[in-house]
Homo-oligomer: A and B are copies of this chain.
Amino acid sequence: MRYKAVISYDGSNFSGYQIQPKQRTVQGEVEKALSKMHKGLRITVHASGRTDRGVHALGQVLHFDSDLQIPLDNWKRALTAILPDDINVKRIEPVKDDFHARYDVIEKEYRYELLVDDEPNIFLRHYKHHVAPPINVKAMQEACKYLIGTHDFSSFCAAKATVKGDKIRTVYAASFLEKNTGLIFRIAGSGFLYNMVRIIVGTLVDIGYGKLKPEDMKKIIEKKERKAASKTAPPQGLYLYQVKYDE
């Protein structure tokens, strides 16, 4: 039986999502927990995609196969009880045998949280990226519109990334939400290149500070080279928010 699980995790104390020897990873912890539930049997977990060290998830999606005979209601409780307290199971449900958490994705949404305040806040240091005011939110908001649509996003792909196929992706929505001292960037698309959201945020922050103009976003996209865009924003503000499937 194949299962789909929606999990959230606090990325602060993980060396990223993907399993690695001698590192504490999300995949490693989930597989260890599932193995305990299956009397030591190795259960391989497939995710919608990786997240980097320090990046969080509110709606990461996984799939795995299991022959365990327990009522569906107990699955979530049992797995949550074994998992460490920085991973939470939001939902778990049986799916069709050919469901694939990575190949079947039709849309992903990321959020990036900024703290706009004179001083950094030590309690938010793992959860928001601090930027000092004044920052021109209107200019950042305006720059977002150039991201929407189908583009070659080479300028927003980490130079070291090895991408199979092209770098053309479709962004369905990109905008900022203001909330007191919080500024939340929301971006939804067909898929994202390595570090794409963080490089976009780094560029948007430069636009907010007036180092670049909103319309420079269009030029940067057209240049199709990493060095055209700004620095990669740090991981702690980034959340994999939601993954959608054609169900």
Name A residues whose Cβ lies closer than 8 Å to a Cβ of B. Answer: 8-10, 56, 85-88, 119-120, 122-123, 125, 127
6 CB < 8 A contacts A-B: A8-B122, A9-B122, A10-B123, A10-B125, A88-B120, A123-B127
Protomer copies: 2
Top-10 shortest CB links A-B: A88-B122, A10-B122, A10-B123, A86-B122, A85-B125, A8-B122, A123-B127, A85-B122, A9-B122, A87-B122
CB neighbours (8 Å) of A123 from chain B are: 10, 56, 127
- Name the residue on B nearest A125 (C-beta): B85
A122 to B58, CA, bound (A): 10
Chain B residues within an 8 Å CB radius of A87: 122
Kindly provide the distance from the CB of A25 to the nearest chain B CB, expressed in whole angstroms.
16
Note all chain B residues with C-beta closer than 8 A to A125.
Answer: 10, 85-86
A51 vs chain B, min Cβ distance (A): 15
Would you give the shortest CB distance from A17 to chain B, in whole angstroms?
Answer: 15
A1 to chain B, nearest CB (A): 25
- Residue of A8, A122, A125 with most partner-chain B CB within 10 A: A122
State the Cβ distance, A167 to closest chain B Cβ, in Å: 32
- Report the minimal beta-carbon distance from A73 to chain B, rounded to whole angstroms: 15
Closest-by-CB residue of B relative to A86 is: B122
In chain B, what residue has the closest Cβ to A120?
B88
A84, closest chain B residue (CB): B122
